[in-house]
């Protein structure tokens, strides 16, 4: 290997991206957000026995409008967005954080399709939407 290439590789590996290091306070805050969102996710799993990876309506499925579902219509998505955005900060990776910003966009697209499906296929969903105004973030959206 060329001496110049070896020197460049050594220089780049020595940088270790420290110029993009995240200060300790945001890392600590992200760690707290991750823990709280993980607890939120666990609560959603406890509250809603109808959760599924695919958008579907199960036999005898009913609207869940208690607990976190009283505040936002899709608390699982809220929890996963918070987890996904906090992980890169905890791991001190600003590059990953920038990439992970795509996740909320993907979730919003999925959520819009899911809501259309539920309006058409789950009895009482339109009334639930009228009762619980916010999809992901209370008082915002």
The reported pLDDT for the residue numbered 78 is: 95
Question: Sign (positive/negative) of CA torsion 44, 98, 140, 126?
Answer: negative
Residue 112 parent element (H or E): helix 102-121
Token code pair at residue 126: 């339109």
The reported pLDDT for the residue numbered 55 is: 76
Instruction: For 132, list phi and psi in degrees, rounded to 5.
Output: -110, 100
**Residue 139: helix, strand or coil by DSSP?**
coil
Whether residue 10 is contained in a domain is answered as no
Tens digit of each residue's pLDDT (9 = 90 or more) over 69-125: 899 999 999 999 999 999 888 888 777 888 888 999 999 999 999 899 888 888 888
- Nearest Cα to 119, choosing from 73, 52, 75, 79? 73
Which domain does 44 fall in, by range?
20-131
Residue 10 has pLDDT above 80, yes or no: no
Q: What is the CATH number of the domain that holds 108?
A: 1.20.120.1630
Whether residue 7 is contained in a domain is answered as no
Residue 34 in contact with residue 82, Cβ under 8 Å? yes
User: What pTM does this model have?
Assistant: 0.76
C-alpha–C-alpha distance, residues 76 and 95, integer Å: 25
Whether residue 137 is contained in a domain is answered as no
The reported pLDDT for the residue numbered 74 is: 92
Token code pair at residue 63: 């609207």
User: For the chain, how many structural domains are there in total?
Assistant: 1
Q: Could you give the percent of the chain with pLDDT greater than 90?
A: 37
Range among 7-11, 49-53, 103-107 with highest mean pLDDT value: 103-107
pLDDT band at 21; cut points 50, 70, 90: confident
Lowest mean pLDDT, pick from 2-11, 32-41, 116-125: 2-11
């Amino acid at each position: 290997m060329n001496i110049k290439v070896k020197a460049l590789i050594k220089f780049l590996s020595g940088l270790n991206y420290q110029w993009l290091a995240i200060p300790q306070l945001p890392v600590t805050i992200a760690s707290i957000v991750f823990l709280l969102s993980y607890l939120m996710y666990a609560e959603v799993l406890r509250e809603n026995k109808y959760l599924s990876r695919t958008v579907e309506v199960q036999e005898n499925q009913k609207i869940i409008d208690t607990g976190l579902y009283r505040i936002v219509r899709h608390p699982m998505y809220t929890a996963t967005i918070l987890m996904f955005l906090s992980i890169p900060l905890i791991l001190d990776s600003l590059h990953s954080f920038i990439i992970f910003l795509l996740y909320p966009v993907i979730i919003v697209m999925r959520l819009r399709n899911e809501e259309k499906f539920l309006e058409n296929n789950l009895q009482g969903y339109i009334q639930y939407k009228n009762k619980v105004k916010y999809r992901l973030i209370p008082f915002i959206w």
